[in-house]
Amino acid sequence: MNGDHRTLHVINGSRKRDCSSLFEPDAWSIREEGFHPERSRFTESIFSLANEHMGVRGFFEEGYSGDSLPGTYVAGVYYPDRTKVGWWKIGYPEYYARLVNLTNWLMVGVELDGERIDLAIGRFRDFRRTLDMRRAVLTRSYVWQAADGRETGLTFTRFLSLADPELACISVTVTPLDHAAVVVFMPALDGGVINEDANYGEVFLDEVERGLDPEVVFLTMRTRKTAFDVCTAMTVRLRLDGAGKESEKIPFAEGHRLGWRLAVPVAAGRSVTLEKYVAVCTSRDHPRETLARTTTAKAQAAGERGFTELLAEHGKVMAEKWAEYDVEIEGDVCAQQGVRYNILQLLMTYQGRDPLLNIGPKGLTGEKYGGGAYWDTEGVCFPFYLYTDARVARNLLLYRYRHLRAAEENAARLGLPGALYPMATMDGRECHNEWEITFEEIHRNAAIAYAIYSYTEYTGDRSYLFTYGLEVLVAISRFWAGRVTYNPRKDCYMLLGVTGPNEYENNVNNNWYTNLMAAWTIEYTLDALDLLAREDREAHEKLVHRLGLTEQERWRWREIQQKMYYPYDDELGIFIQNDGYLDKEQITVADIPPEDLPLNQHWSWDRILRSPFIKQADVVQGLYFLPDRFDLDCQRRNFDYYEARTVHESSLSPCVHSIVASRIGYREKAYQLFLRSARLDLEDLNGDTRDGLHLTSMGGTWAALVQGFAGMRVKDDRLSLAPYLPSGWRKYSFQIEFRGRRLAITVEEDKVVVGLLSGEVLEILIHDRPYRVSKDQPAIAALRA
């Protein structure tokens, strides 16, 4: 898989819409025909399931001795892994937070007449694996072939309940096709797991308590240092041809692994099914002293209710989610499949139920990036939640507000005032330990500020801004004011020694995007303070007094904002990404041999740093955030120059470029980049899906359709649409929430229809013309060519 970028070049180079050969094209499922051990970790990522509370990779219930990353994770449960660097520098974080790989509860070993089932060493046929996206259910089946030719069918089904996120259910059905057999099931819990990427090979877990009796098995593990207790409990039920069956449970315990053996004689053509009911509860949510009792009771209650009832309850929740969040596309099954897959993973990963949680770049699908929150959330993922459920977006903002004191401490460790939000965090403290990122990629602050602006503009609700947001904005502005350098020879302010969004250039001076967004943040902070003073002078005076904000400080901020330096090339008519960028050999992505992609897997870091190639949207990120500041010709010149040099080796990049391409009229390019974003993981376009899915960029896929193709934004305090239909599509539709209303938007070949599903009458703009929308009368406008 790694290095195979044939699909990438097809998508970037032509209108070809063929889906990946890895999975069957289908609007509602991801289907794999045949097992490919060389890409087992890739498919484990693709078939990951989650329910916001916990997640599990798509590894095998019956065990697999080949290459695999068995991963089961619980949101918010982490370990502070000691920082590993070659040269310690003042200000470095002491640890890198890692999402802990917890008790493996998926295990259901299977023996047939004494032979252990293991696809790494045995013979089998008709392997099929299907993710039913409509129900968020994973099934897998194959026919096992014994050495003497006897054949046995096996089917595995799993789901993580969205109705009760502390529950997961597994069903394993075994059918001897042409022989009688003794089928042995070995359901188990295994706490002897490790994090594969631990810096020093440390074990992150200690066993606290266990229980093994005929009715329920439980295992409580405690994370070292952070002392999270995670109790996992299981119970099982047996069925023969669908009817309940009793069987002796023979207990076993091997190290931190404990479970039962259940032997069942099965005649030819009959089916025996083991249903495994799992509860996973933590001390984050329950008192430690009653944790085991709570967890075992939950598992036993699930067993009493049964697989069918729990699946129906889970399916009902999924149906309700799809009724609100689905995006329908007619005429492009590749795009439809990709978009639905992205939405499904977002819905399974984060729904805002726990305001102490955020969205890690890999969600709950792998260990890379540690599982902490990055600026990815605000930079790319935020619009998905803002436009569909503003309450969830507000929770994401509150997450950052709660971490303000830690962000101030982070800035202080660097000798600076104000607040520097961490590059990666679990609890507000910085836990990223690459110096060019930790110390220099300070633009992340701007994404936090921009999310506050986006929320306030979209919802029209200023309560968050006035109650919480201004305190964050003032702290960030103080950081920028302390971080800039005044250049008296040019009478301007500069930001030196930074890394912009393009991480293929480090320690540069005057990254245009960083300078732009620093000045914008200061400007927005000052404007918001003035707005508060006009609307509530008493509240303004109290805030200014509490924060110790003086007129002199504000005056200096205004000077910084007005005198910020922006690198610009008159001859090319473009913003220079950073000082010295144009001194590089200005070749383009078209000059790179296909076998060299992705660069980060084939080139030395030295070669990458000396090249002009851009990892992700940098200047274009600024055009995306602040489009009204630049006319279309300016945006086109900069897009043309930098898109030709962008390799999109960050998952955050294609969606941003797609939105800007839509805005400037590059519809074909916008579609190509949208499709790349939508199918990034399904086609392993960056060659690293084996490490986990790119969760935060999946929100960007949705935004590329809604903000890009549909041209949705707020304009003159009204919802505004400027939609078009990508070539070859017959229709697309989606729903949004806007200021207490729920709207259904459909774009067809000749018109756009906006219907009001709930809420009061609303006036909107379509192609800058006003339309009134009510429950009885949708807005219908002709689609512009």
pLDDT (tens digit per residue) in 757-775: 999 999 999 999 999 999 9
**Measured CA distances, 593 to 531, 608, 632 (Å):** 54, 14, 32
Helix orientation angle between 667-678 and 695-703, rounded to the nearest 10 degrees: 150
Q: How far apart are CA 230 and CA 495, in angstroms?
A: 45
749 DSSP assignment: S
What pLDDT is recorded for position 15? 41
Task: Give the containing element (helix H, strand E) for 408.
Answer: helix 404-413
Q: How far apart are CA 360 and CA 695, in angstroms?
A: 7
Higher pLDDT, 416 or 430: 416
What pLDDT is recorded for position 371? 87
Instruction: Supply φ then ψ for residue 8, to 5 degrees.
Output: -55, -45
19 DSSP assignment: P
CB burial of residue 305 (10 Å; 0-12, 13-18, 19+)? middle
pLDDT band, very low/low/confident/very high, at 20 (cuts 50, 70, 90): low
- Strand 108-112 versus strand 95-99 pairing type: unpaired
What pLDDT is recorded for position 16? 43
Instruction: Supply φ then ψ for residue 88, to 5 degrees.
Output: -70, 135
List the single range of 81-90, 524-533, 776-785 with lowest mean pLDDT: 81-90
191 DSSP assignment: -
* Residue 89, both tokens: 């520098």
Q: Is 523 a catalytic residue?
A: no
- In the chain the first and final C-alpha atoms are separated, in Å, by 40
pLDDT band, very low/low/confident/very high, at 18 (cuts 50, 70, 90): low
Q: How far apart are CA 494 and CA 202, in angstroms?
A: 43
Average pLDDT over residues 215-235: 97
Residues 83-109: tens digit of each pLDDT: 877 777 777 788 888 999 999 999 999
Instruction: Supply φ then ψ for residue 757, to 5 degrees.
Output: -85, -35
What pLDDT is recorded for position 5? 35
What pLDDT is recorded for position 92? 76
Of the candidates 200, 170, 196, 145, the one whose C-alpha atom is nearest the C-alpha of residue 41 is 196
Q: Quick check: 622 and 634 in contact, CB under 8 A?
A: no
Task: Give the containing element (helix H, strand E) for 293.
Answer: helix 291-305
Q: Which long-range contacts (CB under 8 A, 24 or more apart) does 744-752 make?
A: 745/710, 745/712, 745/721, 747/709, 747/710, 747/723, 747/783, 748/783, 749/725, 749/783, 750/782, 750/783, 751/780, 751/781, 751/782, 751/783, 752/721, 752/723, 752/780, 752/781, 752/783
Find residue 218's DSSP bridge partners: 211, 233
Higher pLDDT, 311 or 439: 311
CB atoms within 10 A of CB 415: 9
Distance from the Cα of residue 261 to its chain's centroid: 38
Q: How far apart are CA 695 and CA 508, in angstroms?
A: 29
Task: Give the containing element (helix H, strand E) for 464.
Answer: helix 463-464
Average pLDDT over residues 498-504: 96
Cβ contacts of 462 within 8 Å, gap of 6 or more? 456, 531, 535
Of the candidates 180, 204, 170, 376, the one whose C-alpha atom is nearest the C-alpha of residue 279 is 170
44 DSSP assignment: H
Q: Reply yes or no on whether the pLDDT at 7 is more than 80.
A: no
- Which residue among 32, 440, 503, 643 is the active-site one? 503
Q: How far apart are CA 173 and CA 154, in angstroms?
A: 6
Tell me the DSSP string of 320-371: HHHHHH--EEES-HHHHHHHHHHHHHHHHH--SS-TT----TTTTS-SGGGG
Average pLDDT over residues 164-190: 97
Average pLDDT over residues 327-350: 97
* Residue 784, both tokens: 């512009």
Of the candidates 660, 502, 476, 654, the one whose C-alpha atom is nearest the C-alpha of residue 578 is 502
Higher pLDDT, 176 or 201: 176
pLDDT band, very low/low/confident/very high, at 6 (cuts 50, 70, 90): very low
Handedness of CA 435, 438, 443, 447 (dihedral sign): positive
Q: How far apart are CA 282 and CA 232, in angstroms?
A: 9
Residues 284-310: tens digit of each pLDDT: 999 999 999 999 999 999 999 999 999
Cβ contacts of 438 within 8 Å, gap of 6 or more? 91, 92, 93, 423, 430, 432
Q: How far apart are CA 478 and CA 23, in angstroms?
A: 50
Q: How far apart are CA 641 and CA 69, in angstroms?
A: 41
CA dihedral 116, 117, 123, 124 (to 10 degrees): 150
Cβ contacts of 573 within 8 Å, gap of 6 or more? 634, 637
Q: How far apart are CA 669 and CA 274, in angstroms?
A: 50
Sole residue written with tokens 């060389």? 38
Q: Strand locations in 437-593, DSSP E?
A: 485-487, 492-494, 568-569, 574-575
- Strand 217-223 versus strand 205-212 pairing type: antiparallel
What pLDDT is recorded for position 242? 87
Mean pLDDT, all residues of the chain: 94
Residues 674-704: tens digit of each pLDDT: 999 999 999 999 999 999 999 988 999 999 9
* Residue 426, both tokens: 């679990």
Q: How far apart are CA 707 and CA 380, in angstroms?
A: 12
Q: How far apart are CA 685 and CA 19, in angstroms?
A: 12
What pLDDT is recorded for position 425? 92
Tell me the DSSP string of 597-619: -SGGGTS-HHHHHHS--BSS-SH
Q: How far apart are CA 672 and CA 689, in angstroms?
A: 20
Residues 560-582: tens digit of each pLDDT: 999 999 999 999 999 999 999 99
CB atoms within 10 A of CB 493: 24
Q: Please give the radius of gyration of the chain, using alpha carbons only, rounded to the nearest integer.
A: 27
| 3-state secondary structure (DSSP) of residue 458 | helix
Please report, as a single letter, which amino acid is at residue 184: V
**Measured CA distances, 36 to 48, 49, 129, 459 (Å):** 17, 20, 12, 48
Q: Quick check: 189 and 216 in contact, CB under 8 A?
A: no
Average pLDDT over residues 502-523: 97
Residues 720-750: tens digit of each pLDDT: 999 999 999 999 999 999 999 999 999 999 9
Q: How far apart are CA 561 and CA 517, in angstroms?
A: 10
For every residue of 72-108, which 3-state class applies, written as one string?
EEECCCEEEEECCCCCCCCCCCCEEEEECCCCECCCE
* Residue 87, both tokens: 């040269």
| 3-state secondary structure (DSSP) of residue 383 | helix
Length of the chain in terms of residues written: 785
What pLDDT is recorded for position 83? 81
Tell me the DSSP string of 632-696: HHHHHHHHHHHHTTB---STTHHHHHHHHHHHTT-HHHHHHHHHHHHTTTTTTTTS-GGG---HH
